[in-house]
Structure 1
């Protein structure tokens, strides 16, 4: 043993290999660990519930001998009272966990999330909650949540345009991340780092979007919407603006999910000049089920054939059907065309609402049975439908549902012709 003083610490010789611990002769359990390469660190050793525990206080230089001795006294007293300093250190570290840290831990779990889902979580944190990302997640309060949500509902990310759906979606993401942190991180006494999810403050404040069954384009507006989108094709400037319009048209014709369309690459599109059943697009990386070959109507084929290929800086072509100059290389949203549709429809609509519109057209206007409509929108048959699940090939849908998707495309074009016709005169109401 030795009296640990600054003089002793400065002069102590490193061991030939490994490390050596020099215990203080005045404070039992307080020591200096010296490694073979000369690193000096203060340590404390005691017993908790009969088990010997040694913990590092900190490196000499970051701690003076006096400061290290005081901390050692506190740690040794805690050990005598049954407190494990390692748990305290872990809890202290947990208190510093930021929203960005939680995001990385959540999306970094192997095999848990699709790449597109992980990217969406990352986008929400790094854009919607950019100012909160470096903050300890435990510091996010209910008042902060209500204030930020209200601001997004009123003015969106840029404070210029209401974005109620986006506001709700962003805070659903935040709620999931905080719930994950509640499960993963603990305080010194073993209780959750966060006891109550602050997003619960929105229980009575979520933006009202209307029921899902109401969020589609009314059949009487379909023709006007179709004509407006095609007019926009001739008006917009630039690859990205055109891509967003075409993405919207493709959604109306296919009922596809946003990410299925946005991530579509040309190698997953097949168009045959002679056989309509051999015109299809391929959905891969599905959350559930096998990859699907989806039929294309003649209207969708015409749209895809008219799509310009984006030349990249290295001289190659973008692999995406709906490309962008952004980091992802593809379109992320379609705000301008969806705004135009919303003005015609008289309600705020999202790209996913085109999927609901497609379903309504299929079943209500074209009288396509629910089973086939479900398949056209990439839904699996009911779990009790043994015949379809066990005996039918439900992956090459283009081979037997081309007629159905063509009915939908033809009906939309028919409505567009009616809306554009100057010969259609509204019937007068009788007095």
Structure 2
């Protein structure tokens, strides 16, 4: 290989012939130092030497960055490494690997910091969109609405009364990093919320446990989630007792309750409360009943169901007459002028009826429980009562046997007749719909 002393002019003027893939210019002053050029690429200083009986080449750098003396000094340094028995490619390779590892570590740290700063509020909407309860495909609309209300920021005008709404119990947790949700954080939050309402705080905690289970089940959040944080003894031992409610109408209370409901000025609420007792339906199921799902011809009701999407039950004679008296001012049977277009809260009306009857306490679910108990007292089979109420099929005293609507009809009519008899209502089943004829004793 021809060698020439490197000068600034020779280095700057060196070009690769267009008919060659690469060309070299070697320095006569520093053994192993060369300048490599390609037709299209920028030239670069290189070092070439024999290591373990093989020629190796190491790129030093661009002449725009390295001066000739610097390149010569680097070539002598690489020659010394070979003389010491070291592969001159190793330091550069190690430096590149170290730089790459350092960059990867930096990226990982940035990613970890971003993950650790991920807030509950950033993940909560994804939970509402993609989460689901146990053994179900999707949220029920009412539970989804409760989840949203629990995390609402508040500050909205109250629908009833003066002032604005307070934040939902879960709202303070939304600002916390998901990785910071541990036993101490949840206990501190729960203790504060329990001051405003211990039962509401307990329900919020149960909902948040579901959120933690969902996060723990997803790879992207699993490392940030303490799934058992809400089950810590320090929290659980302070939860209010979950005593099962047993409120229901006694047979002797039916006349007073019925009379109190009949005397309500709100006729829609009056019909709604009586329909709850006569069908055993859940309050939201019946409130959402539409005229399209009332079949007066074949005497059937199709209502939303908690277990299945809908269930169809017989439309009994008195209930048919009662519904026919309601005005048709929209799609809902129990219509309202409110935003929902249907009855949403009949607690005030029910409280008036209870006060009239001298009954201290009875929940809407107590009416559902009353239907079951009064149904048993009427002699209706337990399986028929369960099917009308929409209970999940289970082993009952008679063994659960699904019945057709027509097969259920005599049993539901039997229950209705028993309740009307207790209420002292004399009913004429043959009256035309819309012309309710009852005589209250």
Do both proteins adopt the same fold according to a TM-score greater than 0.5, normalized to the shorter chain?
A: yes
The DSSP-based 3-state class of the residue aligned with 1:412 is: helix
Cα distance in 2 between the residues matched to 1:322 and 1:51: 73
Using the TM superposition, name which of 127-136 and 325-334 deviates more.
127-136
Cα distance in 2 between the residues matched to 1:269 and 1:113: 26
Query: Partner residue of 2:328?
Result: 309
Please tell me whether residue 413 in structure 1 is matched to residue 420 in structure 2. Answer: yes
CA contact (8 A) 1:175 1:199 kept: no
Cα distance in 1 between the residues matched to 2:373 and 2:116: 53
Please tell me whether residue 319 in structure 1 is matched to residue 331 in structure 2. Answer: yes
| Structure of larger gyration radius | 2
User: How far off is 1:371 after superposition?
Assistant: 1.3
Query: Partner residue of 2:189?
Result: 144
Residue-pair matches, total: 309
Query: Partner residue of 1:113?
Result: 139
Query: Partner residue of 2:370?
Result: 357
User: How far off is 1:412 after superposition?
Assistant: 1.9
Q: Say if 1:150 and 1:296 are closer, same or farther in 2 by CA, change over 3 A.
A: farther
Query: Partner residue of 1:227?
Result: 259
CA contact (8 A) 1:295 1:402 kept: yes
Q: Say if 1:335 and 1:143 are closer, same or farther in 2 by CA, change over 3 A.
A: farther
Cα distance in 2 between the residues matched to 1:169 and 1:251: 25
CA contact (8 A) 2:299 2:320 kept: yes
**TM-score after normalising by structure 1:** 0.59
Q: Deviations over 1:147-201 (max 9, x none)?
A: 4334236xxxxxxxxxx6x6655554344335445555978x9242676128976
Please tell me whether residue 102 in structure 1 is matched to residue 102 in structure 2. Answer: no
Cα distance in 2 between the residues matched to 1:124 and 1:185: 26
Cα distance in 1 between the residues matched to 2:417 and 2:396: 33
Cα distance in 1 between the residues matched to 2:378 and 2:284: 26
- Counterpart pick for 1:336 among 348, 351, 355: 348
CA contact (8 A) 1:142 1:201 kept: yes
User: How far off is 1:227 after superposition?
Assistant: 0.9
CA contact (8 A) 1:107 1:118 kept: no
- Counterpart pick for 2:314 among 269, 291, 295: 295
Q: Deviations over 1:383-431 (max 9, x none)?
A: 799x976xx6x4x42x12222222222222222229xxxxx9xxxxxxx
Cα distance in 1 between the residues matched to 2:233 and 2:362: 26
Q: Say if 1:122 and 1:294 are closer, same or farther in 2 by CA, change over 3 A.
A: same
Using the TM superposition, name which of 260-269 and 127-136 deviates more.
127-136
Answer 1 or 2: higher relative contact order, Cα 8 Å, separation at least 6. Answer: 1
Cα distance in 1 between the residues matched to 2:272 and 2:235: 33
Query: Partner residue of 2:33?
Result: none
Cα distance in 2 between the residues matched to 1:280 and 1:337: 27
CA contact (8 A) 1:262 1:330 kept: yes
Please tell me whether residue 263 in structure 1 is matched to residue 258 in structure 2. Answer: no
Gaps of 5+ in 1: 1-24, 26-46, 55-72, 154-163, 237-241, 273-277, 311-317, 419-423, 425-431
Gaps of 5+ in 2: 1-64, 66-93, 155-165, 426-440
Query: Partner residue of 1:177?
Result: 211
The DSSP-based 3-state class of the residue aligned with 2:302 is: strand
User: How far off is 1:226 after superposition?
Assistant: 0.9
Cα-Cα RMSD: 4.2
CA contact (8 A) 1:282 1:294 kept: yes
CA contact (8 A) 1:183 1:192 kept: no
The DSSP-based 3-state class of the residue aligned with 1:281 is: strand
**TM-score after normalising by structure 2:** 0.58
Cα distance in 2 between the residues matched to 1:263 and 1:152: 29
Query: Partner residue of 1:133?
Result: 171
